Structure 1
Amino acid sequence: MENLDGDLREMQLDKWKSSGKTVDDIFKLLKLQDEGEDLVKAPLYDTWVSYVIKMDQKSPYNTILQKLMTRYDDESLTKALRAVDAKKLEKARIENWLSNGKTADDIADDIFTSLKLNTGENILMTKASTLNTWISNVELMKKPDELVISVLKKHYDDEALTNMITVAKKDYRTNGVASKLEKARTNTWISKGESADDVFKLLKLSKEGDELLRSATWRTWMSYLTKLDNENPDELMFSVLKKQYGDEGLAAIIEKGKRSDATETLAAKLQEEVWRSEGKSSDDVFTLLFGKIKDDEMFGMFERPEFSTWISYTTKLNNLNKFNPDELVVISALEKRFDGDIVKLARALQAAKTKAALNGNNTTKSIVHELQTQQFKKFKRSHIDPDQLAAQLNTKFDVSNVGVVLALIDFYKKKGSTVTHEVVD
C-alpha cells in the first residue's frame, strides 16, 4: 500500500474505522512488522500513527509506545525516538516509567547512559547534539534543572563541569547547550539556598590565590552573585573575598588585577568596596586619589585615570542611596572642588573637551561631554540661559567662553527651548 497524503489518507482512515479495524490490524495491514529497527522511519509508519490517534484520542501516544516497546529495547528505543524527534512519545515513555515506580533521577541517568554520554570525556565539545537531546528528555520531568545537575555530578566534579561549560561557551557550535547547563546549575544552587561563600568553595576558587580574577571559574561565580544580589553584587564579592583572603590577601589581588587590562575593571570594583567598607565619602576618595591638587592642575585632571575612578565611586554611592539619589551628583561634587565657581568649571570642561577632541582621546571626550551635559541640566533647573551665562563668562577673557555658550545653546535647542542669543566674536 502506498503512503497516502491529505484528504485521501483521511478517507482511508475513516474507511478502516467504519469497518472496525483495530490498530493492530492496520499495523499488520501496512506490514510494519517487517520493518525491524527501521520501523519509525518507515514510509507508512506515520499513517499508522495517524490511525492510532483517530482511534484513541485520550492516550494515543501510550498506545504507540506500548507497540514500540515490544520491538525495541530501552537503548534502541531512545535512539529511534531521537531520530524522529518524537517528544510526545518520549513523554509517554517517561510517564510509563514513573507509573512503574522508577524515580525521575534514575530515568534521567538511564537515558544519559543509553545515549552513551557516560564516557567521562568533555561531552559538551564531543557530543553536544546528543547532550542536547538528553536535556530535552529531562525537561519533560519535574525539576529538570536539578535532575540535569544531579546526573552530571555523578560523572564530573564542580570544577570539571565549570571548565567544560567555559570552553563550550566560547564555541558558537556548543554555546547553546553550554548556556543551558550553566542556567540549570545556577537555578539548582538557588533552589538549594547556596550562599556566595558556598559556591566559592564548590568551585574551589580559593586555590587561585592572587590569580583569582583570571580564573576560568571566576565569571561563573560572579554570574551567581548577580542572581543573589542584582542591586550590588560587588558587595557580596568583597565580603566573601575578605573572609577568604583577609585584608592583605585582598589587597594583593586588587594590586595584581590593576596591572592587567583584562582584570582592571574587576580590581576597581573591589577597590570601591574596600573604600565603602571603610566609610570613605566621595570627597575622601578624591583627596586620596589627587591629594591637595592645585588650581592650575584642576584643568588637567579630567584625562587622568584617577578621575574616572572617582566618578565611578561617586556614582556608585549615589546609586546605593535609596533615600535621596541625585542624577547630577558628580557635577555637584565637582563644583565643590572648584569652590562653587560654576563659570570656572564650565571653562575647564570646555577646554578639556576641545583638547580631547584635538588629541583623539575619545574616552576623555565622552567623560567631559557627560559632565558638561550634567552642568547644563543644572543651569536649566536654575533658569540660567545662554545670555546670562555669557554675561558671567565675559567678565574674564578666555578662549573657551564662546565654546561654552555655543554648547549651551545647542543643549537648549535639543531640549526644545527657544534661544535668541547671538554669539559675537
Structure 2
Amino acid sequence: MNSVIKALQLQKVGDALLDSAQLTALIKYLKLFNEANPTKKTTLVATLTAHYGNQGLAKIIEAGQQVPKTARMANRLQTEQVQLWMGQGKTPEQVFGLLKLNKFWPLSWISSDLFNRPGLATWVKYLDDFNDANPDKKTTLISILSSRYSDKALANMLIQANKAQSTSSIAKRIQAEQTQLWLKHGKKPEDIFTMLQLEKAGDTLFENPLFSAWIKYADDFRLLYDTDLATMSTLISHYSDEAVAKMITKAHGNPKTKNIAERLESELQRDWLFTKQSTYDVFIMMNLDRTLDKVLENPLFSVWYNYGLYVNKMNLGGKWNPAELLTRLCGGDQQLSDVLIAATKVPSTRKMAVELQKWQMTRWLEKRVEPKRVHSLLGVEGAADDVSLLLYSKYVEGYDKLMGILARNAR
C-alpha cells in the first residue's frame, strides 16, 4: 500500500487532497484491492490515517467541510473516521490525545492555542457520537477540558475563541457547560466577572457576548443559592456610576443590546434608591452640572430624569419635580427658561425641553406665579413658534382654575 501512496504522490497534494485526481485514483484502487483481497480489506479513512496521521487527516477534513465542492466527501470521511475510533473502543479522552489536542503551550496555565488547532471540531463530533452510543458513559467537553486547564486559562481561551466566527459556536457551547460546572461549585458572580476580564471591556461591555453569559450566570446563581447578590453591585465595583450610565445610554440605541440596557437601568435605579442617593446626588454624579446651558444635550440627562420618575413611582413621600433642582442650579426661573427655550429649537432636545417646561409650569402653579410673569418667562412675545403660546394658554387656564378653587374655599 505504501508503494501505491508513493506512486500517487499524495504527499504533494496536502490539504487539497479532497479535490484531487489522486484521491479519485486511490478510491478506485482500494475498491479493486478489497475485491482481490477479501481477507485484507481496508478502508479509505484507515489508509489516509496511516499516511497523514489522525490530526493531519482531521485538518484536511475540516478544511474540506468549508468548501461546497468538497463538503460531501469531507463529511463522509469524518463519519468514517469517527466510526473507526468508535470501533476501536476509543474514549473521548483518548481521541483528544490522538488529535494532539493535549499538547500544551509552555505557558498553558495562561492560555492555549486549542481553539486554533485542527481536529477540535472532529473531537467535539466524536464526543457527541460517543455519548449517543454509550448513554451510560456520557461525558462532557468541560469535564475533559477542566482536567487539563485551570478556570482562568480556559476563560482566556474562550474570550479569544468567541471573537472568531470559526470557533465561536464551540466556545459558546463549552462556556455553557462551564457555567453549569461553576454553579455546581458555587463560584460567585463577581469572581467570574474578573475571570472573564469583563472589567477591561470598557464602553463595549454590553456588546460582549461573555457579558450576556455572565448576566445569565448571575441570575442562575441568585436563584440557585437564594441570595440578593445583584449584577449592578458587581458592575459599579469595577466601573463608576457615570461609566455604567454611559454604557446604558449607548446600549439603548442598539437593538441588540436594548433589552439589557433597559434591565440594567432599572437595576441602577434600584441601587441608587437602596443606597439613598438623592436626585441631586445623581445629577452631580453624572457631572451634569458642568454644562448647564446645554445639559439636555448630554445623553446622561435622560438617565437622571428617569431616576427622578422612578423616585416618584416608589412614592417615598414628597413629589420630585426636575424644575426645582434645575432652577436652583441654573440660577433662577429666567435662566432655566432661557435654557429650555433654546433646547426647544434643537430637534434632538425639543421633546425633553417641552416636557421640562410642563414641569416648570407645575412648579409655578404651586407657587402661584402670576400669568404676566409666566408670559415673560416663556418668551411668548415674539416667539417664532406656537409652543410657548400654547404652554402659556394652558398655564393661564390652570391658574384661573386654581384661583377659582381657592376663592370658593375662602368663602
TM-score (norm 2): 0.53
Q: Distance in 2 between matches of 1:71 and 1:24?
A: 19
Q: Does 1:139 align with 2:218?
A: no
Q: How does 1:164-179 map to 2 (within 5 A)?
A: none
**C-alpha distance in 2 between matches for 1:255 and 1:103:** 51
Deviation at 1:309, TM superposition (A): 3.0
**Among residues 123, 126, 130, which one is paired with 1:51 in the alignment?**
126
Please, which of 103, 111, 119 is the counterpart of residue 188 of structure 2?
103
Residue number in structure 2 paired with 1:65: 145
What per-residue deviation string (whole Å, max 9, x for no partner) do you get for residues 270-314 of structure 1? 33234335659xxx9799659xxxxxxxxx999645444357879
Check conservation: 2:296, 2:352, Cα contact below 8 A: yes
3-state DSSP of counterpart to 2:359: helix
How many Å separate the matches in 1 of 2:97 and 2:82?
15
Within 5 A, what are the aligned runs for 1:348-363? none
Residue 27, structure 1, aligned to residue 130, structure 2: no
Structure with greater proportional helix content: 2
Q: Give the superposition deviation at 1:89.
A: 0.9
For 1:71 and 1:184, the matched residues in 2 are separated by 29
Question: What is the match of residue 70 of structure 2?
Answer: none
Deviation of 1:47 after TM superposition, in Å, equals 0.8
Deviation at 1:107, TM superposition (A): 1.0
Contact 2:248–2:265 (CA<8 Å) still a contact in 1?
Answer: no
* Alpha-carbon distance between aligned partners in 1 of 2:194 and 2:269, rounded to the nearest angstrom: 23
- Alignment match of 1:157 (pick from 236, 240, 259): 240
Please list, as runs of the form range in 1=range in 2, the aligned pairs for 1:335-374 lying within 5 A after superposition: none
* Cα shift at 1:40: 1.9
Contact 1:61–1:92 at 8 Å: present in 2 too? yes
Gaps of 5+ in 2: 1-53, 62-73, 106-111, 133-137, 223-228, 377-381, 400-411
Count of aligned positions? 287
Report the counterpart of residue 6 of structure 1 in structure 2: 75
Kindly report which structure 2 residues correspond to 1:152-231, keeping only aligned pairs within 5 A, or say none.
152-163=235-246, 182-192=261-271, 194=273, 198=278, 200-204=280-284, 207-208=289-290, 210-211=292-293, 212-224=295-307
1:193-215 deviation per Cα after TM superposition (whole angstroms, max 9, x unaligned) = 73897455234257458544454
Q: Take 2:82 and 2:248, find their aligned partners in 1: how far apart are those partners?
A: 49
Range with bigger deviation, 191-200 or 35-44: 191-200
Where does the alignment leave 5 or more consecutive residues of structure 1 unmatched?
291-299, 318-425
Pick aligned residue for 2:157 from 55, 58, 77: 77
2:357 matched residue in structure 1: 271
Q: Name the aligned partner's letter for residue 270 of structure 1.
A: L
The whole-number CA distance in structure 2 between the counterparts of 1:197 and 1:130 is 25
Residue 379 of structure 1 corresponds to none
Give me the whole-angstrom Cα distance separating, in 1, the residues matched to 2:191 and 2:280: 29
1:200–1:54 Cα change, 3 Å: farther
Amino acid at match of 2:341: K
In the TM superposition, residue 32 of structure 1 has moved relative to its aligned partner by 2.7
Which secondary structure state, in structure 1, belongs to the residue aligned with residue 217 of structure 2? Answer: coil
Residues 119-138 of structure 1: pairs in structure 2 closer than 5 A: 123-124=202-203, 128=204, 132-138=208-214
Q: Deviations over 1:218-241 (max 9, x none)?
A: 1222344567789xxxx97x6244
Q: Pairwise mapping of residues 259-338 of structure 1 onto structure 2 (< 5 A)? A: 259-260=342-343, 261-262=345-346, 265-277=351-363, 289=375, 304-309=386-391
Distance 1:45 1:62, change over 3 A: same
Question: Is contact 1:52–1:63 with CA below 8 Å preserved after alignment?
Answer: no
Given that 1:158 and 1:203 are in contact with CA atoms closer than 8 Å, whether structure 2 keeps it comes out as no
Paired residue type of 1:202: V
1:40 maps to 2:115 = yes
| 3-state SS of paired residue (1:33) | coil
Deviations 1:350-399 (A, max 9, x none): xxxxxxxxxxxxxxxxxxxxxxxxxxxxxxxxxxxxxxxxxxxxxxxxxx
Distance in 2 between residues matched to 1:109 and 1:199, nearest whole Å: 31
In the alignment, the residues of structure 2 paired with residue 191 and residue 250 of structure 1 have an alpha-carbon distance, to the nearest angstrom, of 31
Q: Following the alignment from structure 2 to structure 1, what is the Cα–Cα distance between the partners of residues 181 and 358?
A: 57
Alignment RMSD = 4.9
TM-score relative to the length of structure 1: 0.52
SS of corresponding position for 1:56: helix
**Does the aligned pair in 1 maintain the 2:327–2:336 contact within 8 Å?**
no
Using a 3 Å threshold, how does the CA distance of structure 1 residues 177 and 153 change in structure 2: closer, same or farther?
Answer: farther
How far off is 1:14 after superposition? 3.5
Cα separation, partners in 2 of 1:303 and 1:94, compared to 1, 3 Å: closer
Query: Which SS does the other structure have where 1:32 is aligned?
Result: coil
Report the alpha carbon displacement of residue 258 of structure 1 after superposing the two structures with TM: 1.7
- In the alignment, the residues of structure 1 paired with residue 260 and residue 172 of structure 2 have an alpha-carbon distance, to the nearest angstrom, of 20
For 1:108, the aligned partner's letter is F
